[in-house]
Structure 1
Amino acid sequence: MSENYTALYDQHKKAGASFTDFGGWQMPLKYESELAEHHAVRQSAGLFDLSHMGEVWVSGPDAAAFLDYALVGKLSAIAVGKAKYSLICDTDGGIIDDLISYRRPSSEGSDKYLVVPNAGNAKVVAAALLERSAAFDVAVQDASAETSLIAVQGPHAEAILLTLVPAEQHSLVTELKYYAAVEVPVTYDGGTQDLLLARTGYTGEDGFEVYVPNEDAPSLWEALLEAGEGHGLIPAGLAARDSLRLEAGMPLYGNELSRHVNAYAAGLGPVVALAKESDFVGKEALAAIKAAGVGDTIGQKLVGLKGKGRRAARAHYSALKDGSLIGEVTSGQPSPTLGYPVALAYVDVEHSAVGTVIDVDLRGKAEPFEVVPLPFYKRQK
């Protein structure tokens, strides 16, 4: 059993959560119904504890150049206040983690970024960044242990947050673009604190993620629940988060991504900035992988699958064509929103074209699935 508990553990326990081990943390799997939580996020709003995620601050005169070297993207090109999805890779091109980096305001002659790795990889990523920083004038600070992260996701997320922000500051929230972040005064527990608010998420809906010191997390959680009472807000656990991200076609580290997978097979080739002049860890290997046609003309490719029947595929089920093994499902379940089974799978590229019908071995019975474009679900804007 994991020994890590977020600062919100007591709130989850009080709300009747069922817990599960995730990335070494005891996290709420669901409260009453994962289906109700899923539909709440699609139709109104859900409240998530993401405090198991990591937070690593990178600052100093060489911060931008350092992240250009440490990650596969061009982080120096991000404007202050904006965010970028990227990967940190091994020298052989394998994916150590996928992460989001936020460029924050800093003093003249210096740069500052917040790098957010996944839960189970937080310590590994922090260590890799520290190791890769040796030749750069930067400071790498792992603030994961003292930082909580709370997400409000769904069409009512903005309205809920505005109830905790002074009226004269509402524009900070309403004008915040997707993949951007800003310091916002938030009122809770009888006072107002400036908190980092990001318009990001892992659900396919509009939403926000709020970074808050551990000691303030319970008060903020309760304030958000109270603010959301008239908006259909309910707490949501990992089960709903997984079904939401799958419908949105978003990869999960440990399922779609790993050290044994490269960006081109995973459909993340555009994330890799081979054109940037500076070197970066894994550049030579990734250039060779791309040149070889991996994920395009050879090897396997991550695809979306729509079940033509009612039964769902699950992770590690075999993908077949004419009875021959052509790949493996990485994630799969019935889609609560769409009403049919969906799955992500790596399949041989010759069977990866949209419209191709393949079979998935559902515990001894082959069932047809069709390759479809990703994402499965896209919200109406």
Structure 2
Amino acid sequence: MSSESLAAALARAGSPVELLRNLAFPPSTFPVKPEFTNWRAEQRAWVESCALLDQSHHMTDLFVEGPDALRLFSDTGVNTFANFGVGKAKQFVAVDPEGYMIGDAILFHLEEELFDLVGHPMVLDWVTFNLERGDYEATVERDDNSAVRASGPPKLYRYELQGPTAAALIEEVTGAPLPEVRFFSMAGFTIAGRRVRGLRHGMAGQPGFELFGPWEDGEAVLDALLSAGEHHGLVRVGAKAYSTANLESGWVPAPLPALFSDDPLVQEYREWLPVSKVGSLGGSLDSPHIRDYYLTPFDIGYGKTVRFDHDFVGREALEDLAEAPPRTKMTLVWNADDVTAAVGAMYRPGPGAKYIEMPKARYATHHEDKVLVDGRQVGISLDCGYLANERVMVSLATLENEYAEPGTEVTVVWGEHPVSAKPAVEEHVQVEIRATVAPVPFVDFARENYRSR
């Protein structure tokens, strides 16, 4: 893996857009079995019974410990940290000095001076950089995901249980009533004689827990869950289905990090950050200006997360933006006939439309397609895939407020022009796919309205 800095790579490429568009880095991958049965049935499990998703291998952990650990997160996160006690977790969001997204991850408060930041590496790198350059009495221990870890197993196992029967399954496997736990708070369990921590939260619109503990306990805990799960319709979910869960719940994965401003802090970060830590950029959005690809917390649904009760990187910029955020996160439901025509191009003389992979269609680390109305760009389509439960192709998008009303008809431009050098991009022509604006999370709207039609 290259040790060239992002700053050096940028100097060589000459343009952030050219650099990112032609990086050979793929979309984020899940280094677990693609399917245990088939991804359609596995998607149904978190709606109809209980899905078990193994999160042990695809996320990175950053353990931050010390008396200044909380101050570090407060200085770099838009979140409030008032009353963020031991046993709680939150969606940690970081921005650059101009208020654009660096990234987000889940922050667990494990002990009084011990935290675990879990998620994509982008925001973990930013926190590490700020720790190293700042005056903080804290240390970090990083456990990379299994795709890049040098050797050995993960430090922790993580098993996600989601679906209508998840609570009953946990009660059976623990032999105790489900404790009263608030959303994004943790509880302790005993499973197979091992102490297990569980985070209460939901995914894809369903209730559930994320169970975690030392790796050496993982096999015993998994065996107990699988055994008890036979009575609750438990289905193991592979990487293909898991990669689509965010489309139902409305979480935007891997927004393009804002790494290219002239701010001295960001310039220093580019010198520190290896280009190998930067993902590729794909999609029909074709502006030569990198700022046009940036997103703010308000663009992707984190407006309620932004709190101005503390000083943090990017606060002043977000204070100005909070007065009237110009865009809103929504779901786009793609027109079935247009999607079918694009897929059908594979069976006619080419070149045809860019290949639409199922169930997740993203073909770069950061995916951004143009959304048009009457030929004018009104937003960005960010992450796209197929939902077997609703039998639709959808994408998450950020739209100008005027066009963010459910039912609005828009057009998604699919494919790249000119075609980039990314290995996942073949010769193709751009196509326009009609889409209808729908609420986010889509799963609630679909169950109440879409299916009834």
- Work out whether the TM-score is over 0.5: yes
Give the 3-state SS of the residue equivalent to 1:81 in structure 2.
coil
Question: What are the within-5 Å matches in structure 2 for residues 35-74 of structure 1?
Answer: 35-51=40-56, 52-74=58-80
Contact 2:379 2:397 (8 Å CA) reproduced = yes
2:181 equivalent among 151, 176, 195: 176
Contact between 1:304 and 1:345, CA under 8 Å: does it hold in 2? yes
Distance 1:336 1:174 in 2: 33
| Structure 1 residues 198 and 29, CA gap change in structure 2 (3 angstroms) | same
Task: Indicate whether 1:75 and 2:94 are aligned.
Answer: no
Contact kept in structure 1, 2:204 and 2:443, CA below 8 Å: no
Q: Give the match for residue 329 of structure 1.
A: 381
Cα drift, residue 22 of structure 1: 6.4
Tell me, yes or no, if structure 1 residue 264 matches structure 2 residue 298: yes
Q: How does 1:203-242 map to 2 (within 5 A)?
A: 203-242=204-243
Tell me if the contact between 2:384 and 2:393 (Cα under 8 Å) persists in the aligned partners.
Answer: yes
1:138 aligns with 2:204: no
1:9 match: none
Report deviation, 1:217.
Answer: 2.1
Cα 1:323/1:234, change in 2 over 3 Å: same
**1:270-293: CA deviation from partner (whole Å, max 9, x where unpaired):** 11112x1x31122123224335x4
Greater strand proportion: 1
Match of 1:339 among 357, 367, 391: 391
- Tell me the equivalent position of 2:318: 286
- Alignment partners' CA distance in 2, 1:221 and 1:22: 28
Which among 31, 36, 46 is matched to residue 36 of structure 2?
31
Letter of the 1:44 partner, please give it: S
What TM-score results when the alignment is normalised by the length of structure 2?
0.66
Q: TM-score, normalised by structure 1?
A: 0.78
Q: 1:73 Cα shift?
A: 0.5
Structure 2 distance, partners of 1:123, 1:113, is 12
Cα separation, partners in 2 of 1:224 and 1:310, compared to 1, 3 Å = farther
Please tell me the residue identity of whatever aligns with 1:269. Answer: G
> What displacement does 1:344 show?
1.4
Aligned CA RMSD, in angstroms, stands at: 2.9
C-alpha separation in 1, matches of 2:232 and 2:247: 25
* Percent of pairs with identical residues: 26
Query: Number of matched residues?
Result: 338
Task: Look up the match of 2:119.
Answer: 117
Structure 2 distance, partners of 1:309, 1:90, is 39
Deviation per CA, 1:127-158, whole angstroms, max 9, x where unpaired? 236336x4234343335641221111111112
Q: What SS is found at the alignment partner of 1:174? A: coil
Please tell me whether the aligned partners of residues 61 and 138 of structure 1 are also in contact (alpha carbons under 8 angstroms): yes
Flag structure 2 segments of 5+ consecutive residues without an equivalent.
Answer: 2-25, 145-153, 259-293, 340-355, 363-367, 415-428, 448-453
Shift of 1:49: 1.3
> Measured at CA, do residues 289 and 326 of structure 1 come closer, stay the same or move farther in structure 2, by a change above 3 Å?
same
Higher relative contact order (CA 8 A, sep 6+): 2
Letter in 2 for 1:345: A
